[in-house]
Structure formats: C-alpha cells, structure tokens
Structure 1
C-alpha cells in the first residue's frame, strides 16, 4: 500500500538546508524535499509576539539559504498538507510554515529518499507517488 506524503514527512527533522538553483531540505533518514520554484516561509499568525512575518524565496536567483531558513535545521515537521492544485505546506515545530504554490509549467517540488523519487508535484497540479 502506498504511503501518504504526511506519513512519509511527518515528524522528520531537518538535517540541513541548501540553496542554489533548487532549494533542498535534507531530512532525517535520507529523505529530501527539493523545491524548484518560488516559495514562502511564514511565522505563526498574529499573536502576542506581533504580526506574522512572511519571507519570499526564489531558488533560481539566490545561491545560499538565508533569513528564516537558517532556523530550520533541527526543526521537526509537525504538519504536512497539499492542495488539489499541487501546492505544498510544511509546518515546523519552530513556528515556521513553508509554502510552495502550484506551478503550471514546472515541477514545483519533489520528495526523494535514498532509493529515488517518492512524490513529485507535476505541472498543472498532478502529484505522483
């Protein structure tokens, strides 16, 4: 029986982040989330600490991870969701949420393991498993 994306990524820790033409979240147990399109990183909703902050990242334009992305190593994924159009939402225990919107022309994100691809968001919202 195929695993769900949430069961594969949930409770994994981020080992490191890598920038470049594609952004890579290296996770525990040899898993990786590769992001090839623009994405955003947001803090928790408005609360006692002030308003939510949102950072936008463009993997093709930057070579190094910076900003809030530097808070991700060591963080645990607490929630995983996809949209019907192929977007990805990852919530971390450090209070950050990473969101990759769907893309109609590129593969916006993929999850790989030690033996190869596990999930890929295809252009137009299709998800392969």
Structure 2
C-alpha cells in the first residue's frame, strides 16, 4: 500500500498514491470504470491506450469505451496499481504490477477521464487539456 494516504501535488502533476490498490471490479457501459480497493474509482470516457510497455515503445491497443471496445482491459482485473499520475495537462498514466501501462490523454471536447476517492478527492481531465482537482469536506489546499 501507499505510505501516504492522500495525493501529492507537484509542479506539473499529481501523484495519486494508489500504489498497492487492486482492481476489484471492472464495469463497462459507455465508460470503462475500474473500481479500486479502498474506495477509489477510475472512469475512462474517451479512448485510452493499453500497452505492455510505455506507449512510446509499444503503442499497444486502443480502448474505446463509448463502443464497449475494452476487452483488452479485462486482464488487469485483480492486479495492483504500481503508479498513478494525473498530469496537469489532463493526461492520466497508470502502471499495473503485471507491467501493463494505461494512458488516457485529454480530449478536445469532453472530459476524458475522472478519478474519485475517499475524503472527497476528485480529479477530472477537462476538455481541451487541463486538470480539475476537487477536495470536498476538507480545508486543505488543492490544485
């Protein structure tokens, strides 16, 4: 598990501290939803790339949630997150213990993805390339 309970802000990204949390459920409708341990949820609403290496080395396969073309994501069920980074540019990058990389870029017109967690944390890839960060029910600073 992560040694820090809350996400950590850096100049260009948020480290989401999801290390060690397992993918406990996968739901498919017009979105692809990964339910993680301890109340975290990752929702992809636009195309994302899944590969066994970083995308610049191996482009992998394209997941298209709106057409339910997401079967390639099913093997990550039960795996644990090694790294999860929400870039302030709106891109999400996750790495799983089996070596799978998930990258969801920003979308020009839609919210590409969102992540919600305990304590009111919510990260959203905003249309056009920005990151929205909300922290309800706390007074600490957010991004």
Q: Which has the higher contact order (CA 8 A, sep 6+)?
A: 1
Which residue in 2 is equivalent to 1:89?
A: 93
Candidates 32, 39, 51, aligned match of 2:48: 39
Counterpart of 1:113 in structure 2 is 117
Q: Is the counterpart of residue 56 in structure 1 residue 62 in structure 2?
A: yes
TM-score (norm 1): 0.80
Distance 1:7-1:61 versus aligned 2 partners, 3 A rule: closer
Match of 1:48 in 2: none
Q: What are structure 2's unaligned runs of at least 5 residues?
A: 1-5, 9-13, 134-143
Spell out structure 1 runs of 4+ moving beyond 3 A.
114-117
- Residues 53 and 38 of structure 1: is their aligned pair in 2 closer, same or farther, counting only changes over 3 Å? closer
Unaligned runs of 5+ in 1: 46-50
Question: In the alignment, what sits opposite 1:71?
Answer: 75
State the TM-score, normalized to the length of structure 2: 0.73
Report Cα offsets for 1:37-64 as digits up to 9, x if no partner: 011100136xxxxx9461111111117x
Q: How many equivalent residue pairs? A: 121
